[in-house]
Structures are given as structure tokens and as C-alpha cells.
Amino acid sequence: MNADIPVGADASMSDGIVAGDGATVSAGQNRRQVLYWRLLARLFDHDEQPALETAAMAVVGDLGLPAALLDPAVSVDTLVQRFPELAAEFQNLLTPGESAPGDEVRRAALVSKLLLNVFATGTGDVTATRLAAWQQDAGWFRQALCAGPGAGTGTGTGTGAGAGPGAGTGAGTGGENGGELAGVLAGLEADLVSRMRLREVLADPALARQLTPSMSLVEQLLRDKANLSGVALANAKALIRRFVDEVAEVLRTQVEKASAGVIDRSVPPKRVFRNLDVERTIWKNLTNYNPEDQRLYVDRLYYRRTARRTTPARMIVVVDQSGSMVDAMVNCTILASIFAGLPKVDVHLVAYDTRALDLTPWVHDPFEVLLRTQLGGGTDGTAALAVAQPKVADPRNTVVVWISDFYEWNCDAVFAGMEALHRSGVRLIPVGSVNSGGQQSVNPWFRQKLKDLGTPVISGHIRKLVFELKNFLA
């Protein structure tokens, strides 16, 4: 990249400069150009551009910022530990808003640091320490975008010191493009994980403890588990267990919070204090208000109906275990275990690629389910239908959750089987993705056919699936 830009080596200049068209460019704009040109140069070419590095160092020094701000090898976490006063500046850094005069250059320096650390991932082998540092920087990046508590699913775990809630690649980013950005970050993390010498790291307990469980790491572990043994296998299982437990805690909260079912108004309200409808009681008794003594005399109490249907239901979860569906597979396997723990819900679990495997005996333990799955291979939904269909005893009391991208080798036969389930009275819920980004590709032919059938494919946040399931099972 050509470093001959009209800035000069002295980035502390206070006068404006004249651009080629005669317009005056302020010193502040000039300094920001230095920082952003340097950022672009480092993102697209890992070799330093001496002129840009010198000019950027002058800008940072003039702002009173530490030189480590320009070093991509120094994580944001480390920078904040050394200079705690910068923590507040990194928070909400990328949130739209006006900067005070003179602050634009300082903001540009901090933004450059954040973007360089997150998006310039380099090439070659990646150590566990490098991956953990990147995950921490990704957490700061999300916080800079104002991803506060409750953003996203919360399934990410790379938080970093001070990174705050919602950090990690699985958390939300806020804004209209949050899902797309989450997908980009997940791709960057997956690339870093794929470049790790994972078997060597797992064989060393000290290094294995530095790994932060994430969806991309779990995918790598599941793919490679057949090649692990001894200490490496034990460490891999421990990481999967940690991730499963963390995701389960978040999903359990989603299940508890989601509204469920339609109130059964055929059941009279239970006349207890917690069901008292205060607002309705006051409204209905307003005619009894006595203005002389300013008292409202209540001659009738009104209560809320809270009874819901409690008919036992059967839930059959069919999971495509091909590699492209690992995110949805992990989330839905854990979700199935949560619903299996609820009263009056009979949960069955079937995983398939070119063959189908009935995992119902382990449905209460998603960790064991994941260890028994084999990622990759083709997809033959007819094998899954052969296992799932005999499980339907009472169609109108059965829900089938089918998780797949629906790229089948025999689309007509699979759709015919799903259509037959739906026509029989089964509640069919096809799921394309329930991950943080919701960017899963779904076979467009299947998507349209299922939409026409009245059972559109669910994609996006897992809350959608939780809502659908609770409404059916309640």
C-alpha cells in the first residue's frame, strides 16, 4: 500500500493542510486518516509500512496514549489491565453518537486497536493462549457495540477480564446487522480453532485449561474425538461438558421465561390471594365509591384464571448430524434434555446422516448424546423417518422437531413423509438454525414446500423454538 499520503511525519501538527482540490483538511481529519490508513494497511498486508507506523506512533504519543495501543500482539484485555483508565473508553466505543471536539482522533485510535485485534487474525498455527486472547478481544468488541446483559443467547464464553456480560462469540451484538456480524465473528473463531494443534494442546493439561469452550471448539472436538485417547480425550470431554453445562443454564432460563400455552377458561379461577386481579376488582367496584368518606367499598373480588392444559405430550426431536448443522444440533440436543426433565413430557431423540440412531436412552444427558454423534457424511431423512414414525402413538398429542438444512439426496420421499406426519395431526416444527447468527442455509425447495404446507422453517434465535414448544406442550 502506498504510504505517500499528505500527512507528513509530524502528526502533531496543529494547522490544516490543503488537499489536491484546494479544500482545507483539518489536523484532526489528517490524524484520523493516518490511523485508518495504517489500520487498512495492517488488515490487508501483515508487513509494516514504516511511514504509516511512524506517523501513527506520533499521533498516539501526541494524544498521551500508550504505544502498546498500536501493537496487535497486545490484547485489549492486557492493555486495560496496564492502563485501567482506558476501560471506560472502550465500552460503547462503536455506539453511534457525537464526539466532543478533539475526541475524534482519540476515538479513531481506540477503534483502530479494537478492529485490528479482532479482524487481523494472521496465518499459521494458533496457540491456546492466542485463541483465548482473541476471544477476549471479541468480547470487548461486542461491548464496544453496546452488547449489554441479555444480548444474544449468551452461549459464548470468551469474556475476558472486564469484558462484561454477553461477551464471547455466541453473544448478541445489537443493531440491525448483529446477526450477520455474529456470523462473521463465529467464522473467524472457527478459523483460529482449525489452525490450532488441538491434539497437542489437549495432551497438555495446563494448555487445555486455557481453552475457552465455544461452539467452534466443540465442533472440532466432536470431529476429532475418535483420534483422541488418554489425557487428551479426558480433557476434550471436560471441555464439552463445560460448554454443555453453560449453554444448558442459559437455555433453561429461556424455557422458564417463555410464555406458554392458552389459559383453560373452562376451569374456574382458584380463589387465592396470588390470583387476585386487583385492577379488575377496583374497576368493577367503582360504583361503590363513597366521596364523603373517600372510600371504595368492595362487594365482589375478581380472580385471574391460571389453569392450563396438562395433557401428557410426546416430543420427538430429529437431528441432522451432518457437520453443517453442528450449532443447531448442540442447542437442540440440550433443549431436548431440558424438556425431558419437565413433567408430562415424553421426549425421544433421533440423530441421522445416511443412517439413523435412536438416542432416546441418553436424552436426559446431552453430553452423552454429543459423544455418540458422528459429524459429517451425507443426509438421508428417510432413515430418520423409519425410526421416528413408529414413535407416533397419538398424533394430535405429538410434536416433531426436525432440525436440518434439508439438503437431502431424496427430497421428494423425505417431504412426503413429513407431509404425512403433518396430515395425521402431528405438530411439525422444521428448524433450519437456532444459533446466535441465524445464518444457516436451508434448501430453498424444502423451505417453500414446508411454507406451503403451513409449517414454515424456524431460523434465528432459539427463543422462537422455545416459544413454539412451550405453547404446544403447555
pLDDT tens, position by position, 266-320: 556 667 777 788 888 888 888 888 888 888 888 888 887 655 544 558 889 898 8
What pLDDT does 1 receive? 45
Q: Using CA atoms, how far apart are residues 465 and 447, in angstroms rounded to an integer?
A: 17
Neighbours of 83 (CB within 10 A): 14
Cα angle 433, 436, 439 (rounded to 5 degrees) comes to 50
Q: Grid coordinates standing for 401? A: 422437531
What pLDDT does 466 receive? 77
Task: Report the pLDDT averaged over residues 238-258.
Answer: 78
* Residue listed under C-alpha cell 392444559: 309
| Mean pLDDT estimate for the chain | 76
Cα distance from N-terminal residue to C-terminal residue, the chain: 62
Provide long-range contacts, Cβ within 8 A and 24+ apart, for 45-54: 45/1, 46/120, 46/122, 46/123, 49/1, 49/3, 50/3, 51/3, 51/4, 51/9, 52/1, 52/3, 54/9
For CA atoms 263, 269, 270, 276, give the dihedral sign. Answer: positive
Q: Using CA atoms, how far apart are residues 148 and 350, in angstroms rounded to an integer?
A: 37
Query: Which range has the worst mean pLDDT, 18-22, 140-144, 222-226, 434-438?
Result: 18-22
Q: Residue 188 belongs to what H/E stretch? A: helix 178-194
pTM: 0.53
Indicate the SS3 state at residue 158: coil
* Residue listed under C-alpha cell 380472580: 303
Q: Using CA atoms, how far apart are residues 432 and 465, in angstroms rounded to an integer?
A: 11
Q: 319-337 pLDDT, tens per residue?
A: 888 756 677 778 778 878 8
Task: Report the pLDDT averaged over residues 59-78.
Answer: 85
Q: Residue 24 belongs to what H/E stretch? A: strand 24-25
What pLDDT does 324 receive? 60
Q: Grid coordinates standing for 357? A: 440412531
What pLDDT does 80 receive? 84
Q: CB burial class (10 A; 0-12, 13-18, 19+) of residue 30? A: buried
The C-alpha R_g of the chain, in whole angstroms, comes to: 28
Q: 150-208 pLDDT, tens per residue?
A: 333 333 333 333 333 233 333 344 444 556 777 788 788 778 877 877 888 888 888 88
Q: Is 225 left (phi over 0), alpha (psi -120 to 50) or beta?
A: alpha
DSSP state of 427: E
Task: Report the pLDDT averaged over residues 254-269.
Answer: 56
Q: 214-233 pLDDT, tens per residue?
A: 777 887 788 778 778 899 99
Query: Which range has the worst mean pLDDT, 48-62, 186-200, 277-291, 397-411?
Result: 186-200
Widest CA span in the chain: 87
Residues sharing a CB contact under 8 Å with residue 390, sequence separation 6 or more, in sequence order: none
Residue 239 has pLDDT above 80, yes or no: yes
For CA atoms 90, 96, 100, 102, give the dihedral sign. Answer: positive
In percent, the amount of the chain with pLDDT more than 90 equals 12
